[in-house]
Amino acid sequence: MAINNLAALEERRQHLNQVLAEFGSPNFQLIELTIFLSHLLTANNNSLLSAYFTEFLPKYSTLLKNYSPFGIDPLQTESIYSIAEKYLKTVNEEAVNNELSFSITKIKNQFDELKKILEGGTSESSTGNCLLFPVLEKSDDDKYFFGFLETITISISKRISLTEDTFVVVPDFGQSDNRLNQQIQSSWDFAKNYFAGSIKASKHFHEVVIRFNKKYGIYEGGSFGIALTIGFIQELIRFYNLRDVVTLGSNIASTGSVNEKGEIDSVGVESIEKKVEAVFYSKVQRFIIPFSDLATATKRINLLHKKYPKRELEIIGIPIISDLIDRRSLVSIKKQNIIKWGAKKTLKNKLSIALLVLLVFTSSYFLVKDFDDNPVGIDFQSVPGIGFVKNKLGKTLWEINEFPVPGKEYAPSHYFKNKFKIFDTDGDGKNELFLCEVGRSGTLFCLNSTGSLKWKFDYRRIVETPKEKFSDFYRIHMIVDIIKNNGVNELIVAAQEAHHYPNPILKINAATGELIDDSFWHPGGIQGALVKDIDNDGKLEVVAAGNSNGKKSAFVFSIEYDKLNGTAPTIKNYTFLNQQVADFDQYILLPKTDLSFFLTEKYNSTVNSPHIEETKQLIDIKTIEDIVGYRNYPLEIYYDFTFDFSDVRITIPEGFVYKRDSLVRSSKLDMPLTGTSEYKEKLQRNIQRWNGKEFVQMFPQNVEMNEGTISIQNK
């Protein structure tokens, strides 16, 4: 349509009037006005612009003044204010010019704040301690979609004339949505039942007023159920002067309907995708959603992160409202001062002073019991990829998303053992959490007791061998331990070069995140390690296990903590330049078995960390000889060394025996059978140790046989 075609222009003007009359969404109206204004501006005809836009100017000015870029795709906002700036240049009337200038400046300032958030920054302003919820606006033809964040205000009173609890929704446009009404009733029933026994029965009923603060129009559906339920709980506490004080964290939003049992229901695939997008383009830092929608939301977040990879938004899946109430990182529940609260109750209910004193003594125990917010553990097994941070009572305080899911060769309890440590490093009585491998990054994180970041550490260094030069990117994949050394809490971690075998062990200041030492390097993967005085000489040793790339074999070593510098013995092409072999107490190779050679070209390795059996004074090492060797389970060999490494006990699991013996009987492997003393002697003769100059046979003589195991004396 040519812009100078007046008939077509008049038709568009009439259509715009119809849209403004029929559609209540302010953002939708502003977009339609912006499109119409853009067409007029392309004509470069001020007379035409004045004739066709003057009637819309008051509406346009009001919508522009009230517009917020939060919750909306930035491209849409850029279009709105760029057209407004072009129009401003044509406006001669000072009052109109000033009003439009003010609105454009406000939008651009807010837009700059949004861009800062999308680039990983934080907002200078807060959404406050109210629970927001995203509301979706869309046209009937789904041509446009907008999101904005709404809040509600609740007030409760009692009316003698009422025969039942009554709800008033503001604004009221004379239309009622059944789902919204049902959600109000369900949230109210849950909130009242939550305080069963705390609120005295009354013959009078409540009038509950629910105000949607932005008053954008008709509200439908029940996805504001989480916010409504928490709001009812807060207001009932205030109305009945209960001792609890419930405070929400800032910059938190939620979506999800809640039934009378407190169960949080899905909002659906399309709805959760659009609401995640609306929240993504906002100040919100944590978004609470139904647990059943977590997979869809995570997929949507990953898609949005391709455009804005630095945007920090935590998605929290919650199955039931009580789980949310128990999380101290989201909802703070504290008791009012017992004297002040008791005084108010005394005045209101004529409590005796004796009862007030009794309350002082009895409440202290329950205050600690019910509201402990100090993390002591993480549950990784309930939901793959998510860690639920727990207090000592087993209550979930908050959660950590994007943890890796271990392969089948790893028991989850063993795998995650070295992915985190919990320790009070600054002595304030609140534990810090140290985490690695979160979000598939190589970063080491330190979080405080509420889940806020204290510091993070990334390791960068270039090393070389005679054969090649490696990149400077390292992934910290294991937290070994935290020990106090010379008055400093040292965090011992293991890292690995992005795609190759250099593996340093690092010492980091647990309080500050600063690197203390990085002088030990291993030419192959360190799969696990521990720190312990295993020989009772008063000095700590580091015991580690993994695989040596140069020697193509599993290994285990022991070295004094203070001597942890240098590298491991290996062949020339795998030796790091300017590194000497470390002063090991023991460096032992556990070579591949004949079964492993038959099944895979890859060398064997250990799995998990060395395990200490205190009562037997043993160090347990487990090697993987093949990942999918028997019924899709790994083929393993167990080596149990004494603390001084003078003795070893080898155990051959049933799966290994079955697989190898079947190959022996079919003449694919040489005799002897696996359970015989001859085969077990062969295993023990293959073990080698470093004597300071070369690798030698560790157990050359004196073999004692037991059923299924072999005990070897190192003479």
pLDDT in tens, 432-451: 999 988 766 789 999 999 88
632, pLDDT greater than 80: no
Torsion angle, alpha carbons of 219, 266, 274, 170, to 10 = 10
Q: Cα–Cα distance between 200 and 205 in angstroms, integer?
A: 12
Determine which helix (DSSP H) or strand (DSSP E) holds 226, and give its type and residue range.
helix 225-239
Q: Cα–Cα distance between 602 and 234 in angstroms, integer?
A: 61
Indicate whether 10 and 73 sit together in one domain: yes
Q: Cα–Cα distance between 415 and 409 in angstroms, integer?
A: 9
Q: Which residues fall within 8 angstroms of residue 643, CB to CB, at 6 or more apart? A: 534, 535, 617, 618, 619
Other Cβ atoms less than 10 A from the Cβ of 205: the count is 15
Encode pLDDT of 504-541 as tens digits.
999 999 999 999 999 999 999 999 999 999 999 999 99
Q: What is the pTM of this model?
A: 0.58
Tokens representing residue 245 in the block: 């004080």
Q: Which of 211-215, 293-297, 358-362 has the lowest mean pLDDT?
A: 358-362
Q: Which residues partner with 434 through β-bridges?
A: 421, 446
Indicate whether 104 and 146 sit together in one domain: no
Q: Which residues fall within 8 angstroms of residue 384, CB to CB, at 6 or more apart? A: 405
DSSP letter for 687, please. -
State the pairing for strand pair 709-713/647-651. Answer: antiparallel
Q: Report the pLDDT value the prediction gives residue 403, as an integer from 0 to 100.
A: 62
Q: SS3 for 660?
A: helix
DSSP letter for 319, please. S
Other Cβ atoms less than 10 A from the Cβ of 256: the count is 30
For 637-676, where are the alpha helices, taking DSSP H only? Answer: 654-665
- Any domain includes 114: yes
Among residues 79, 237, 58, 55, the alpha carbon closest in space to that of 146 is found at 79
Q: Cα–Cα distance between 329 and 249 in angstroms, integer?
A: 7
DSSP string covering 470-513, please?
Answer: --SBEEEEEEEEEEEETTEEEEEEEEEESSSSEEEEEEEETTT-
Indicate whether 38 and 99 sit together in one domain: yes
The answer to whether residues 340 and 253 touch, using CB atoms and an 8 Å cutoff, is no
Q: Report the pLDDT value the prediction gives residue 356, as an integer from 0 to 100.
A: 42
Indicate whether 528 and 648 sit together in one domain: yes
Indicate whether 96 and 227 sit together in one domain: no
DSSP letter for 535, please. T
**E strand map for 417-469:** 420-423, 432-436, 444-447, 453-457
Domain enclosing residue 162, as ranges: 133-335
Higher pLDDT, 144 or 429: 429
Q: Cα–Cα distance between 555 and 385 in angstroms, integer?
A: 30
- Any domain includes 487: no
Q: Using 50, 70 and 90 to split pLDDT, how confident is the model at 406? A: low
* CB neighbour class for 518 (10 Å; exposed up to 12, middle 13-18, buried from 19): middle
Q: Cα–Cα distance between 94 and 106 in angstroms, integer?
A: 18
Encode pLDDT of 543-601 as tens digits.
999 999 999 999 999 999 999 999 999 999 999 999 999 999 999 999 899 999 998 87
Q: Cα–Cα distance between 400 and 387 in angstroms, integer?
A: 5
Tell me which of 335, 360, 383 is where a domain ends.
Answer: 335
Q: Cα–Cα distance between 239 and 231 in angstroms, integer?
A: 12
Indicate whether 41 and 161 sit together in one domain: no
Among residues 675, 684, 683, the alpha carbon closest in space to that of 707 is found at 675
DSSP string covering 365-394, please?
Answer: HHHHHH------EEE-SSSTT-EEEE-TTS
- Please state, in angstroms and as integers, the Cα–Cα distance from residue 586 to each residue in 331, 364, 566, 648, 684, following that order: 51, 54, 14, 13, 16
Q: Which of 142-146, 473-477, 663-667 has the lowest mean pLDDT?
A: 142-146
Encode pLDDT of 225-253 as tens digits.
999 999 998 888 888 877 667 777 788 99
Indicate whether 110 and 146 sit together in one domain: no
Tokens representing residue 39 in the block: 């067409």
Q: Which residues fall within 8 angstroms of residue 543, CB to CB, at 6 or more apart? A: 529, 530, 531, 532, 534, 556, 557, 558, 610, 619
Say how many residues make up the chain: 715
- Any domain includes 489: no
Highest mean pLDDT out of 274-288, 392-406, 692-706: 274-288
Q: Report the pLDDT value the prediction gives residue 626, as an integer from 0 to 100.
A: 84
Distance of CA 572 to the CA centre of its chain: 43
442 — phi, psi (to 5°)?
-95, 10
- Please state, in angstroms and as integers, the Cα–Cα distance from residue 32 to each residue in 70, 107, 248, 295, following that order: 19, 18, 38, 35
User: What is the number of helices (H) and of strands (E) in the chain?
Assistant: 17, 37
The answer to whether residues 683 and 637 touch, using CB atoms and an 8 Å cutoff, is yes
DSSP letter for 540, please. -
* CB neighbour class for 612 (10 Å; exposed up to 12, middle 13-18, buried from 19): middle
Tell me which of 335, 367, 386 is where a domain ends.
Answer: 335
Encode pLDDT of 535-545 as tens digits.
999 999 999 99
499 — phi, psi (to 5°)?
-130, 5
Indicate whether 137 and 33 sit together in one domain: no
Tokens representing residue 566 in the block: 């240098």
Encode pLDDT of 332-380 as tens digits.
766 555 445 455 544 444 444 444 444 444 444 334 444 578 899 988 7
Task: Tell me the average pLDDT of the chain.
Answer: 84
Q: Report the pLDDT value the prediction gives residue 402, as an integer from 0 to 100.
A: 65
The answer to whether residues 513 and 455 touch, using CB atoms and an 8 Å cutoff, is yes
- Any domain includes 352: no
Tell me which of 69, 95, 118 is where a domain ends.
Answer: 118
CATH number where 138 lies = 3.30.230.10
Other Cβ atoms less than 10 A from the Cβ of 499: the count is 9
Indicate whether 109 and 148 sit together in one domain: no
Q: Cα–Cα distance between 548 and 557 in angstroms, integer?
A: 11
C-alpha angle 589-590-595 in degrees, rounded to nearest 5: 145
Q: Which residues partner with 253 through β-bridges?
A: 132, 287
Q: Cα–Cα distance between 581 and 685 in angstroms, integer?
A: 25
193 — phi, psi (to 5°)?
-65, -30
Q: Which residues partner with 421 through β-bridges?
A: 434
The answer to whether residues 449 and 482 touch, using CB atoms and an 8 Å cutoff, is no
- Any domain includes 564: yes
Q: Which residues fall within 8 angstroms of residue 311, CB to CB, at 6 or more apart? A: 117, 118, 119, 120, 280, 304, 305
Q: Which residues partner with 464 through β-bridges?
A: 469
Q: Cα–Cα distance between 671 and 678 in angstroms, integer?
A: 9
Positive or negative, the Cα torsion across 39, 41, 46, 49?
positive
Q: Cα–Cα distance between 682 and 690 in angstroms, integer?
A: 19
In the chain, how many domains are there?
3
- Any domain includes 535: yes
- Any domain includes 147: yes
**Buried-state track 124-136, b at ≥16 Cβ within 10 A, e below 16:** eeebeebbbbbbb
Indicate whether 286 and 155 sit together in one domain: yes
Q: Cα–Cα distance between 477 and 406 in angstroms, integer?
A: 13
Q: Report the pLDDT value the prediction gives residue 161, as an integer from 0 to 100.
A: 78
- Any domain includes 709: yes
State the pairing for strand pair 314-318/286-290. Answer: parallel
Question: Which CB contacts under 8 angstroms, 24+ apart, belong to 379-386?
Answer: 380/412, 380/416, 381/412, 381/413, 383/317, 386/317
Indicate whether 199 and 320 sit together in one domain: yes
Determine which helix (DSSP H) or strand (DSSP E) holds 685, and give its type and residue range.
helix 677-686
Indicate whether 182 and 100 sit together in one domain: no
Q: Cα–Cα distance between 146 and 495 in angstroms, integer?
A: 45
684, pLDDT greater than 60: yes
